[in-house]
Structure 1
Amino acid sequence: MESPLARADSPSPDIDFSTDPRFTGAMRRGSVKKNVAAIHVSGKLTLLQRKLSNVLLLNAYDTLLTATRHQIDARTLSLMIGYNSNDMDTLRDALRGLAETVAEWDMLDDKGRQEWGVSALLSYAKLKGGICEYAYSPALAEKLYDPKVYALINLNIQRRFTSGHGLALYENCYRFIRTGSTGWWPIETFRRLMGVEDSAYYEVFKQLNAKIIKPAVEEVNRTSNIRLTPELRRMGRAVSEIRFLIEENPQLAMFDIKGDDDVRETAVYARLIGQGVSDRLARQWLAEHGEAVVAEKLSYVAGQGRVRNTAGYLRDALAKGYGPAGKAVAAPVDPALVAGVVARRQAEAEADAALTQRLAERDARRRRFDAVEQAVSRRNPTQRDADKRLFLSSIEDELDREDFRRFGWASSLNARAIFAFWQDLDPTIFDGLSADPQP
C-alpha cells in the first residue's frame, strides 16, 4: 500500500505561519534564507528531502552558530512540509537520505579567495519520542548561516510543488529575481543542479528538455511567485548553454507576503509606515523577520536619538543584527482573533487549491485529447479503423461503448481508457505534459 507521506506530493493548503498558534519562534517567519552554496549542491535531493532540508534549516537558523543540536516536533515537521501523516518510516528514510547526501560549495571568502568545501547535509539525525533531533557540521553551518548571498524560500510556495525538479529549478532561479536572468549555465552545470548529471539518458538534450526543463518551467510558472522563460545557446547544432529569464508572476507576486490585510492592522506596521518605510517594504520585513523582531529593532532605533535616515538605519538593524542583547517579547494576541484568522486562511486556501486543481486537470485533459487527435491524424485509414475496433472490444460497459461510437477519440466517459490505449501504442505521446488527469 502506498504510504500517506508518499501520496502527499499534491499541493497542500497554505498556512499563515505568522499567526497559526501551532508555530513559534523562527517557524512563524514562514520563509528560510538559503545560502547559494546550499542551493547549488542539493540537485539530487528528492522532493521530500528538499522540502525537509528547507524546514530543518528554518527551524535551526537562529542558533546555527551557537547550538550543536536542533530539535523539532515530528508532527510539526510533517505539517510544515505539507504532509499530514504518521508515516515515520518514510520520514526516517528521507532524513537518512539527507545524512547520506554530500554538500559541496565553491565560493569566494571575505578576502576574495576561492574556498572549496564538502560536508554531509546533516551530520546526524534521529527520531525519538515524537521529536526529530539533528545537527549540521560546523563548517556547513557557517555557510548556511552566511547572509551575504541567499535566496528567501517561502515555505507556502514550497508546499505547492509536486516535483523535485520543479522545486530545484525554483530555488536556483529565485535568487536572481533582482537581475532578471540566471546568466548562462553550461548544460553540464544545469544537469548537475537538477541532479541528473549521472544519467546517460539526459545527456541527449531532446530528452532533457522534454522530461526536465519543460515540466519544471511549467510548474514554476504555475505554482510560484516568478515566471521563467528558458533561452538556449548552441555550439554548432548542439545546445551548449541555457539561461532563464525571470520576472514576477503577476498573479502570485505577493504570495510570499501572506495576510496583508492583517499585517496592515498591526501596531508594528503602523510604526514602520510612520518612520517613512514603504508599504511593500514594511510587509516584507514583517514577513521575513516576524512582528517581535521588527518591534525590537524599532525600539532600538528610536532609542538612538536623532537619526538622519530612520528607514535606512532600521534596514541595517534588521540585516546586521543591531540592537540590545536579549529577545523581544511579542505583544499578546487575542486567541479568538488568531483562531478566526487561521480558520479563514484555511478555508480560502482550500477553496483556492480546489479551484486550481480543477483548472489544472481540465487543462491536462484538453492537452492529452489534442495529443490523441494528432496521433490519429498520422494514422492511415486502415490503421484508424483497426484502432477503433480494438478499443471498442476492450470496453465492457454499454454506456461507455455508445459514448465512444458518438464521440470517437474525444469521448469524455472513456478519457482514462483512451489515454492508456494511445500510450500503449506510443509511450512518448504525452511526454512533456502534466501528470495523468482525473477523468
Structure 2
Amino acid sequence: MVQVAMGELGLLHRKCYNVALANAYEGLGQGKRTFRVPVSVVSDWCEFKSHNYQALYDVFEELRVTPVKSVTFDEKEAKKGRKRKRVSGDGLLSSFAIIEGGIIEYSFSDHMAEILHEPEQYIWLSLNAQNKFDSKYELNLFENCVRYISVGSTGFKPLEDWRGLLGAKDPYYDDFKNFNRKVLKAATQGVCDKSGIIVSPEFEREKRKVSKIKFTVSENPQMQLFDHKEHSRIRESAAYKRLVEIGLQDVEAIHWINKKGEAGVLENIAYVEAKKPDKNPTGYMVAALRAGYGDKSLEERKREEAAQKQLAKNAEAREQKAQAEQAEEMLKAEFSTYQKSRAQDLIELQDEASITALGQIVADALVIREMCQRWEAIKRDPSQLDLRKSNDRIIFGGYVVAEALKLWGDPQDLDFEEYKKQKSAIS
C-alpha cells in the first residue's frame, strides 16, 4: 500500500492533480508517460468559476516543481513482525507545457507512474466527491482513508506521518490538542458529511500522549463511493466509444457524458456526423458539445420526461423510505463516534483523583471476569486500554465513555434525540 504526502498543496492544486491523474490512468498502465487535456475540461472538473485559465496554468507549473514524498508499507514482514516503511522522493510532474488552443501537456517520471498506477490509487479519483470538500484537510483525509475501504481500517501509523499526509506541519500543531481540534475533528466531520465513506479516528498512547492514529473506514450507504465504478460503466457506453473514435481523450469523453448524459451526447454526435466535417473533426465535436448543436428542443425533452415521470415518482417514494432508515442508522453511528471523542477529551482534562474515581465506577459496573481482570491489570487507567483488542474496546465504549460523560459531560452528550435535533438544525 502506498500513501503520497502532498499535504502542503492547496485545495485547487489537489483537484487539478486528481484530474491530471484521472486523464492519465489508463495510459499509465499501457506504458505512456506524457498526456494532454484541454484546460477547459480541467476547469469544469475542478468547478473553477473563472475564465482566467492562466491561474490553472500556474497551478500545473507549481505541480511540476513540487517535491513529493511517498510512503510505502511493504507487505513483506520485517524481523520484528511489522510492515516495513519506505520513504522516497520525486516530483508530482516531470514536465509541463501549454499548447496553443488551450491544451495542457504534462508527463510523469517512471517512478511516479509506477506509484500512481497501483490499483489502490485509482480510488483517489473521486472527481465528483472532491468538489464537495471545503479544505485540503478534508480532501487529504478522504484520499488517505478511502483506499482502505476493503479492509475497514488504515491501521495505526505514527502521529507525525498523519500530520505530513494531512498537511498539518505548522508548529502550531505540535500540540496535539490543537491538531485534534483544528484538523482531525473538522476533517473527520467533513469526510463523513460529504463523501462516500464514514471515518473514525482511534488513538494509541505512550505515557498518556497520543503517539499513533488509525482510522476505521466504512462505506456511507447514502452516497456513491467510487467514481471509477461509474467511469467503467461509461466506458462501455456507445456514446463514450464514439467520442474516443472521433478523437476525444478519456477524461474529456467522461466529462461530457457526465455533463450532458449519454442521450444528449449521442444527439451531438449525430449532428456532427451528419455535417461530415473534413477538417479537425475533434475540434468540431467539442464545439458542438459546448454549443449544444443537435440537442433536442425543450418540448421534445418534456414529452420524453413526461413518459417516465410516474415511474420515477413511485421509485422516489420507495427510495425516500429506505434513505430515512439508512440516515437514522448512520446518525446513530456518528453519535457513537462523537461520544467517544467527547469522552476522550474530557478524560484528558481530569486530574489523578478524578481518574481514580472514574476507575472505581467502571470497576463496580464491570461484571465479566475477564474484563474485570483486565481493568485491574491496567490499574484502572483508561489511557492504557488497547482499542485494537475486543475486550478493551468493550470496556471503553460500553463503560468508560458513558461514565465519563455522566461525570463531566453535558446532559445532551448522552441524549441521541437531542443530538439528532442539533444535526437537523444545522443542516
**TM-score with structure 2 setting the length:** 0.51
User: Which residue of 2 is the match for residue 158 of structure 1?
Assistant: 130
Structure 1, residues 373-407: CA drift from partner, whole Å, max 9, x if none? xxxxxxxxxxxxxxxxxxxxxxxxxxxxxxxxxxx
For residue 246 of structure 1, the aligned residue among 217, 231, 235 is 217
For residue 236 of structure 2, the aligned residue among 291, 311, 320 is 291
User: Which residue of 2 is the match for residue 335 of structure 1?
Assistant: 267
Deviation at 1:41, TM superposition (A): 2.4
Residues 289 and 236 (structure 1 numbering): CA distance in 2 closer, same or farther, change over 3 Å? farther
Q: Conserved in 2, the CA contact under 8 Å of 1:292 and 1:331?
A: no
Structure 1, residues 241-263: CA drift from partner, whole Å, max 9, x if none? 111111221221x35469xxxxx
Q: Which amino acid aligns with 1:67?
A: K
Structure 1, residues 401-431: CA drift from partner, whole Å, max 9, x if none? xxxxxxxxxxxxxxxxxxxxxxxxxxxxxxx
Structure 1, residues 58-84: CA drift from partner, whole Å, max 9, x if none? 111222253342111111111011113
The DSSP-based 3-state class of the residue aligned with 1:45 is coil
User: Which residue of 1 is the match for residue 197 of structure 2?
Assistant: 226
State the alpha-carbon separation in 2 of the partners of residues 43 and 242 from structure 1. 17
Q: Conserved in 1, the CA contact under 8 Å of 2:33 and 2:113?
A: no
State the alpha-carbon separation in 2 of the partners of residues 202 and 114 from structure 1. 24
Residues 111 and 205 (structure 1 numbering): CA distance in 2 closer, same or farther, change over 3 Å? closer
Structure 1, residues 251-283: CA drift from partner, whole Å, max 9, x if none? 21x35469xxxxxxxxxxxxxxxxxxxxxxxxx
**TM-score with structure 1 setting the length:** 0.50
State the alpha-carbon separation in 2 of the partners of residues 190 and 101 from structure 1. 19
Deviation at 1:336, TM superposition (A): 7.5
User: Which residue of 2 is the match for residue 185 of structure 1?
Assistant: 157
State the alpha-carbon separation in 1 of the partners of residues 225 and 148 from structure 2. 17
For residue 60 of structure 1, the aligned residue among 24, 38, 46 is 24
After superposition, where does 1:71-82 map in structure 2 within 5 Å?
71-82=36-47
State the alpha-carbon separation in 2 of the partners of residues 115 and 201 from structure 1. 27
Q: Conserved in 2, the CA contact under 8 Å of 1:126 and 1:132?
A: yes
Q: Conserved in 1, the CA contact under 8 Å of 2:123 and 2:226?
A: no
Deviation at 1:286, TM superposition (A): 6.2
Which range is displaced more, 211-220 or 65-74? 65-74
For residue 206 of structure 1, the aligned residue among 157, 170, 177 is 177
State the alpha-carbon separation in 1 of the partners of residues 192 and 50 from structure 2. 29
User: Which residue of 1 is the match for residue 206 of structure 2?
Assistant: 235
How many corresponding residue pairs? 250
State the alpha-carbon separation in 2 of the partners of residues 231 and 114 from structure 1. 21
Q: Conserved in 2, the CA contact under 8 Å of 1:107 and 1:115?
A: yes
User: Which residue of 2 is the match for residue 384 of structure 1?
Assistant: none
The DSSP-based 3-state class of the residue aligned with 1:160 is coil
User: Which residue of 2 is the match for residue 122 of structure 1?
Assistant: 93
State the alpha-carbon separation in 2 of the partners of residues 227 and 87 from structure 1. 36
State the alpha-carbon separation in 2 of the partners of residues 111 and 209 from structure 1. 32
User: Which residue of 1 is the match for residue 104 of structure 2?
Assistant: 132
The DSSP-based 3-state class of the residue aligned with 1:71 is strand
Residues 135 and 257 (structure 1 numbering): CA distance in 2 closer, same or farther, change over 3 Å? closer
What do you get for the CA RMSD once the two structures are aligned? 3.9
Q: Which amino acid aligns with 2:220?
A: N
Q: Conserved in 1, the CA contact under 8 Å of 2:22 and 2:125?
A: no
Residues 48 and 201 (structure 1 numbering): CA distance in 2 closer, same or farther, change over 3 Å? same
The DSSP-based 3-state class of the residue aligned with 2:37 is strand
Structure 2 unaligned spans of 5+: 78-83, 242-261, 270-288, 290-294, 306-425
Structure 1 unaligned spans of 5+: 1-35, 259-283, 297-329, 345-436
Q: Which amino acid aligns with 2:20?
A: L
Deviation at 1:332, TM superposition (A): 11
State the alpha-carbon separation in 2 of the partners of residues 161 and 331 from structure 1. 30
The DSSP-based 3-state class of the residue aligned with 1:215 is helix
User: Which residue of 1 is the match for residue 14 of structure 2?
Assistant: 50
Residues 212 and 108 (structure 1 numbering): CA distance in 2 closer, same or farther, change over 3 Å? closer
Deviation at 1:126, TM superposition (A): 2.2
State the alpha-carbon separation in 2 of the partners of residues 147 and 140 from structure 1. 14
Q: Which structure ranks higher in relative contact order (CA pairs < 8 Å, sequence separation ≥ 6)?
A: 1
Percent identity reads 33
For residue 5 of structure 2, the aligned residue among 41, 47, 69 is 41
After superposition, where does 1:313-352 map in structure 2 within 5 Å?
334-335=266-267
State the alpha-carbon separation in 1 of the partners of residues 203 and 86 from structure 2. 30
The DSSP-based 3-state class of the residue aligned with 1:85 is coil
The DSSP-based 3-state class of the residue aligned with 1:239 is strand
1:167 aligns to 2:153 (yes or no): no
Deviation at 1:117, TM superposition (A): 3.9
After superposition, where does 1:252-401 map in structure 2 within 5 Å?
252=223, 254-256=224-226, 284=229, 287=232, 290-291=235-236, 334-335=266-267
The DSSP-based 3-state class of the residue aligned with 1:221 is helix
Which range is displaced more, 220-229 or 85-94? 85-94
For residue 97 of structure 1, the aligned residue among 28, 39, 62 is 62
Residues 85 and 335 (structure 1 numbering): CA distance in 2 closer, same or farther, change over 3 Å? same
Deviation at 1:143, TM superposition (A): 2.1
Deviation at 1:120, TM superposition (A): 0.6
Residues 70 and 110 (structure 1 numbering): CA distance in 2 closer, same or farther, change over 3 Å? farther
The DSSP-based 3-state class of the residue aligned with 2:131 is helix
Deviation at 1:292, TM superposition (A): 5.0
Q: Conserved in 1, the CA contact under 8 Å of 2:138 and 2:190?
A: yes
Q: Conserved in 1, the CA contact under 8 Å of 2:34 and 2:106?
A: yes
State the alpha-carbon separation in 2 of the partners of residues 232 and 110 from structure 1. 23
State the alpha-carbon separation in 2 of the partners of residues 148 and 157 from structure 1. 17
The DSSP-based 3-state class of the residue aligned with 1:196 is coil
Q: Which amino acid aligns with 1:191?
A: R
